[in-house]
Amino acid sequence: MHPNYPYQPFYPYYYDYRQGLFQKILACYQQKRWIRLSFRDGTTVEGFIRSYDLLRGVLIYVSMQRYTVSCEGVRVDSLQKAQNCIGKSSTLTLPNNISLTFTIEGVDQSQNIGGWVNINELMSVSGQVVDVNCI
């Protein structure tokens, strides 16, 4: 404990909590397994992290049928619409109405849509995440 930093006792808990979530996410990524995030409001979301880059963010694939992805005001619900939006900034809306900027990268053989999500945006909603599981 440093006498010049009176708030230090409160900081490690929040830091450790976030680090714990990050470590679970990293473990799922390394095991090449899908991730299930559980939010405080009871919502769960699932995705597959294909890659990450400190500048671009996290490349995550999600079910095109389960989540709403909008590109230029149009819902992306087909391979054709997804291909038309590759590289464009889109919006990924989760069932609990959290919206994230989603730059579409492509669609896999299982009709999951992949895109880059900014790390800062992910961190801004991480306080609402209560648990992370690999599935």
Show me where the domains of the chain are located.
11-134
**pLDDT of 2 over the 60 cut:** no
Count Cβ atoms below 10 Å from residue 40 Cβ, excluding itself: 10
Q: What is the pTM of this model?
A: 0.82
Q: Give the model confidence (pLDDT) of 9-66 as tens digits.
A: 444 455 566 677 878 888 999 999 999 999 999 999 999 999 988 888 899 999 998 9
